[in-house]
Chains A and B, each alone.
Chain A
Amino acid sequence: MARAVFGDFARAVESHLDVPAGTAVRGGSGQEFAEVNGALLRITEVMARYASDVSLVSGDYLPGDRSRLAVWARAAIEAREALGHADELLRESGASPGNENKTVTGTSLPRGLHAAAASMTAARDLLQTHFTSEPGSVRQGRSEWALVITSPTVTRTLLGEIAIWARHIAPQLSDLAVARPGMRGTGEARRRMETVGHCLWSVHAAVQAAHQHDPVSADDRRLLHAIPVNMPQPRCVPDGTETIGDLCAGIISTAERVRHAAPIPPRQPAWDPGLTITSLRQVAATGTATSHHCRILLRALAARASQAGHDQIGPGLLESAAAATQARARWLHAVGAVDQVTTDVRRFVSAEATEAGDLALWTGRLAYDDPRWQLSSGPSQPARAPEALAAEPDDIPVVLAAIHHAAETLRHLARADQHQIRAAADAGRILVPTRSLPESDDVARRYSTAPPSRISQLIAAYQDAGTASAQTTAAIADLAETVRAPSRILTLARAATRPTRDSAPSFSRGSLPEPALTRSASAAPEHTTAELLRHIGATSPDLLRRGSEIDRARERLILDAAQEQALDHTHHNSARSLGPEKDALSSHPVARADPRAVAATIGQAPRQSEPPEFEP
């Protein structure tokens, strides 16, 4: 069963907000205003939570990204302020969030808003499953998607999503606020409704301004929508009855489980008790087998593409197979390096090693003709015929996606084990036989702590395996893009977690840098002053208000500093002056966080040269 993804809920939000014109309300009675206010309060609460989650100020921007930080951080701050203002207005009106079940009039707007709020909340909860957050502690990533979610790319796109929602709601509030016959006594409520609508326009306008400067692409939105709930599929091993499609799905599911079981530091503790020589050997051997299977499969796909006349991907498939051959050789080298060492604990097989074995099994089942193939099946196993692997041309992207996931997982495994070995070596857990040490005279002991030179050789072997696997992944990513394979999302996710965004995502081979370790989810937003005050039990509204003011001042300070640095940077380089853009930003009505000024802005049509409106 497919896992829920962010896009499922985001689409539901838009569906709930898509109220046909003229059907939003019946007559605009006082009760209807109260119901809409209650539903709106839920909406603004959850949207404000989204905006609070977004950290473009204290997050991961590098010096080269300062101008982007300026525009998007400003958008985040202004969206947060506008939503806060709307929240205040609604609370002043006596609105209570309530829920959709209490709606008595049955008009479509409050019902739609309540349903949209529920979907927004579910979508945010889905993102939160990728983090752990204990009281008083920093939010920690707990999946490979955490880095993606906290990346500047997804953060900006999330703000864009909020803006889209705000833009759907705002005109309906304006419509509701228009006076009609029989609406006597609702003047104050209508004015308030209109102002709340302006606040939502303000959210949209703030994000739109940032989007004009630094656009969010369709691929960025595709990536956000593809983020799944952090709930790995249960372990599953093939039983021999699987179709090609089943095997491909099994490979992808198992690949995700492997990556989940092999976390990348700094989530890793100083040393992992799961690191044993038994696990290391199993991962290295099955990793080698998986890369061998990838090679077989890529060659078979190349033959199939040739049969089917797909000349545009044949050479790429052969190049990918050659890259897989290199990866196999590098993994084989790692296998040999692991032969020469041991650990203080043996026998225990980690979850990572078990899952890596499963991946070799699934990829082997796809590569070989025997539906009961096992790693222990022995020699002379015939490979699956190309026409059986991809009976129809449309099957090629499906099979390629499975290979793409397997290759990406090998890259991940090499890197994870490299860090595990380093941590274990630091703890003195990697041992070598004393008789393998040339100058050792202490032959009475059987093992000795591995000397640094041996550790370096071991780590270098894994580094090489990781690099070769990354090159295979990059080669396959090119093809995945060409044939529109579903695994393209892997490439987008990797691009989003690159340490710099100065260049557009590149799919060229061999150019996939590792995500910077320092840019982990643990470096994500620290606690705000207001949160810390609540944590120590402060409940005084005055204290909390002052805390919020400090937080806002801090954000402003960082933003101003970043913008100043960006200006200095661009002036020095004389490549592209930010002067006019800075002026435009500072003179932009929403930059003053004044919702009343927004109405004059929203009618402005974008210039021809600007990116399109941020809309789905």
Chain B
Amino acid sequence: MSNPHSIPERLQGATGLKAVLAAAYDAFEFLLAVIRAHQDLDEDLFTAFVMSGACAADGRDALTAAPSLPWPPPVEQAGAVNDFRSGSAGEIAADLAALSQQLATRLRDAATTAPDSRDRAECAEAAQCAIGIRDLLAGRMP
């Protein structure tokens, strides 16, 4: 079981399409789990959390359809959600938004470099989902 903070590190350190897809898949699973665990904590953040959870599930499903994703994917974040951090809902949202931004960046890159068109399409869709999470949790960026 990895430290939850290793999710950004795994994303950052992943080399090659398969490693990026696996890390991104794990990141979406992690995002989904954290969002669902914290969505009911703060009235102001409720809608943002609920909507971003749907984006995380869609992103995960998009990557599942990518032919180059190693299957079964490694599930390294299981159990780490409860230890994620003990901050306010706003702080958690900010951290998740930052992770989503990083995730979107890696997936956009993969969407332009993957040899298989289906991998490219699924990465592009998953990147959009990550952007959606970022916007929902941090407010729309210019």
The finding on whether chains A and B are genuine partners in a shared complex, rather than unrelated, reads yes
Residues of A within 8 A of B (CB): 277-278, 281-282, 284-286, 288-289, 292, 329, 332, 335-336, 338-339, 342, 346-347, 364, 374-381, 433-435, 443-444, 446-447
Q: Give A291 Cβ to nearest chain B Cβ, in Å.
A: 10
B24 to chain A, nearest CB (A): 16
Q: Is the CB of B54 within 8 A of A284?
A: yes
CB distance from A302 to the nearest CB of B (A): 16
In this assembly, does B46 line the interface, its C-beta being within 8 Å of a C-beta of chain A? Answer: yes
Confirm or deny: B40 has a beta carbon within 8 angstroms of a beta carbon on chain A. Answer: yes
Q: What CA separation (Å) do A179 and B137 show in the bound complex? A: 86
Residue of B nearest to A382 (CB): B44
Q: Which residue of A lies closest to B139 (CB)?
A: A378
Q: Determine the distance from Cα of A375 to Cα of B139 in the docked complex, in whole angstroms.
A: 10
Residues of A within 8 A of B135 (CB): 376, 378
In the bound assembly, the distance between CA atoms of A346 and B53 in angstroms comes to 17
Do B72 and A292 touch (CB < 8 A)?
A: no
* A443 adjacent to B57 (CB under 8 Å): no
Whether the pair A285, B54 counts as a contact (CB closer than 8 A) is yes
Interchain CB contact under 8 A, A285 and B138: no
Write out the residue numbers on chain B whose beta carbons fall within 8 Å of the beta carbon of A381: 44
A338 to B58, CA, bound (A): 11
Name the contact of B48 in the complex, choosing from A332, A336, A379, A433 (C-beta under 8 A): A379
Cβ-based interface call for B13 (8 A): no
* Closest Cβ neighbor of A289 among chain B residues: B47
B79 CB to closest chain A CB (Å) equals 16
Contacts A281-B58, A446-B64 known; A332 to B50 CB distance under 8 Å? yes
Check if B50 sits within 8 Å of A288, measured CB to CB.
yes
Q: Which residues of A contact B64 (CB under 8 A)?
A: 342, 433, 446-447
Q: Is the CB of A376 within 8 A of B140?
A: yes
Residues from chain B with Cβ under 8 Å of A347 in the complex: 125
Kindly report which residue of chain B lies nearest to residue A293, judged by CB atoms: B47
Contact among A339, A342, A379 for B139, CB-based, below 8 A: A379
Total residues of chain B contacting the partner, CB 8 A: 33
Q: In the complex, which residue of chain A has the Cβ closest to the Cβ of B33?
A: A339
Contact (Cβ within 8 A) B58 A278: yes
- Asked if A339 and B53 make an inter-chain contact with CB atoms under 8 angstroms apart, the answer reads yes
Q: Is the CB of B57 within 8 A of A364?
A: no
Which 4 residue pairs spanning A and B have beta carbons closest together? A378-B139, A285-B54, A281-B54, A379-B45
Residues of B within 8 A of A379 (CB): 42, 44-45, 48, 90, 93, 137, 139
Does B4 lie at the interface of the complex (its beta carbon under 8 Å from any beta carbon of A)?
no
Alpha-carbon distance A434/B73, docked complex (angstroms): 11
> In the bound complex, do residue A335 and residue B50 qualify as a contact, i.e. CB atoms below 8 Å apart?
yes
Partner of A376, one of B40, B42, B58, B136: B136
A sample of 8 more A-B contacts (CB under 8 A), given A277-B58, A378-B135, A378-B139, is A338-B57, A339-B57, A364-B47, A375-B136, A377-B140, A379-B42, A379-B44, A379-B48
Considering the chains assembled together, what is the distance between the CA atoms of A423 and B15 in angstroms?
43
16 contacts between A and B (CB under 8 A): A281-B54, A281-B57, A289-B51, A332-B50, A339-B57, A347-B125, A376-B51, A378-B136, A378-B137, A380-B45, A380-B90, A433-B64, A434-B72, A435-B75, A446-B64, A447-B64
Shortest Cβ gap from B61 to chain A (Å): 5
